[in-house]
């Protein structure tokens, strides 16, 4: 890619036909959030980490998980960041690589990508409130790994019991434990950052991340309208109106379009 703009770099990646690289996208996010780091520096640091892992082809599933956990949590000392949990740095790739800590989703993503480099496929599981992973081959018995808690192994019945306790007996467990896409992972990372900046009362940080979320899922009306609302809050009505008009042109017949169009007309009357 020839652009040095991290958001443009991510836009270009989203438009390509090949699968979106999770680690490269995380580098784009971190570079946009912190100009003191760079895309190439992060990828070099990740390469150094990932290239040190070797998983013998002859090893069975459980041996591979054990070796991966030892490499990640014992040799490289990664751990969950319980202190200052909501700080934005816990969502950023370069901080996780240098400090060896981060949020559940940040550590899970790096763990997944390190495993993939060793030809060991891990799936991201977007369980509510706490992101975990599952070896793709772990089907009988199915089990999960929690990178935030130093690779804790969680059985299928255990994770189901935890979700029922937290969400109630009617929780749709199969859906909650289904693997998520790279875009969904990046969306969750962006919304975590949005929430972190909201706690810090940083509207510019909020805008960066809701804008990225809208870029990842351009058909999502809620994300686009959140972005428009934030632009209005930042006294940028022209940009907000332009965003709403563009979305309506591309989605004229959605269930939300009439309500959004009424909002648009009200905004124009107020200017």
Average pLDDT value for the chain: 94
Write out pLDDT tens, residues 220-270: 999 999 999 999 999 999 999 999 999 999 998 888 899 999 999 999 998
Q: If you compute the radius of gyration of the chain from its CA atoms, what whole number of angstroms results?
A: 20
Residues 85 and 129: their CA atoms lie apart, in Å, by: 13
pLDDT tens, position by position, 44-92: 999 999 999 999 999 999 999 999 999 999 999 999 999 899 999 999 9
Residue 1 lies in a domain: no
**What share of the chain has pLDDT > 70, as a percent?**
99
Give the 3-state DSSP-derived string for 15-29, with helices as H, strands as E and coil as C. Answer: HCCCCCCHHHHHHHH
- Asked if the peptide bond before residue 141 counts as cis, ω within 30 degrees of 0, the response is yes
User: Which domain CATH number covers 198?
Assistant: 1.25.40.10
Residues 118, 227 within the same domain: no
Average pLDDT over residues 105-131: 97
pLDDT tens digits, 191-225: 999 999 999 999 999 999 999 999 999 999 999 99
Task: Assess whether 116 and 243 both reside in one domain.
Answer: no
Q: Examine the pLDDT at 2 and tell me if it is beyond 80.
A: no
Helices (H), 39-102: 39-50, 61-69, 93-99
Q: Which residues contact 138 (CB under 8 A, 6 or more apart)?
A: 61, 144
Domains held by the chain: number:
2
- What is the model's pLDDT at position 4? 63
């Amino acid at each position: 890619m020839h652009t040095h703009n991290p958001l443009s770099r991510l836009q270009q990646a989203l438009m390509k036909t090949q699968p979106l690289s999770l680690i490269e996208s995380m580098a784009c996010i971190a570079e946009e959030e912190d100009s003191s780091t760079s895309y190439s520096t992060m990828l070099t640091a990740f390469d150094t980490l990932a290239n040190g892992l070797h998983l013998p082809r002859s090893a069975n599933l459980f041996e591979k998980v054990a070796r991966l956990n030892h490499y990640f949590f014992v040799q490289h000392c990664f751990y969950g960041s319980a202190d200052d949990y909501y700080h934005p740095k816990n969502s950023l790739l370069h901080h996780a690589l240098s400090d060896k800590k981060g949020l559940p989703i940040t550590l899970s993503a790096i763990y997944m990508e390190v495993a993939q480099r060793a030809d060991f496929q891990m799936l991201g599981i977007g369980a509510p409130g706490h992101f975990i992973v599952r070896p793709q081959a772990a089907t009988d018995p199915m089990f999960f790994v929690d990178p935030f808690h130093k690779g804790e192994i969680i059985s299928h019945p255990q994770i189901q019991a935890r979700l029922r306790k937290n969400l109630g007996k009617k929780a749709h467990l199969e859906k909650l434990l289904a693997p998520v896409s790279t875009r969904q992972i990046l969306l969750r990372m962006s919304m975590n950052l949005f929430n972190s900046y909201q706690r810090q009362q940083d509207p510019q940080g909020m805008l960066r991340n809701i804008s990225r979320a809208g870029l990842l899922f351009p058909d999502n009306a809620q994300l686009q309208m959140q972005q428009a609302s934030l632009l209005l809050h930042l006294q940028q009505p022209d940009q907000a109106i332009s965003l709403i008009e563009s979305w309506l042109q591309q989605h004229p017949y959605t269930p939300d379009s009439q309500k959004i169009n009424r909002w648009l007309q009200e905004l124009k009357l107020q200017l």
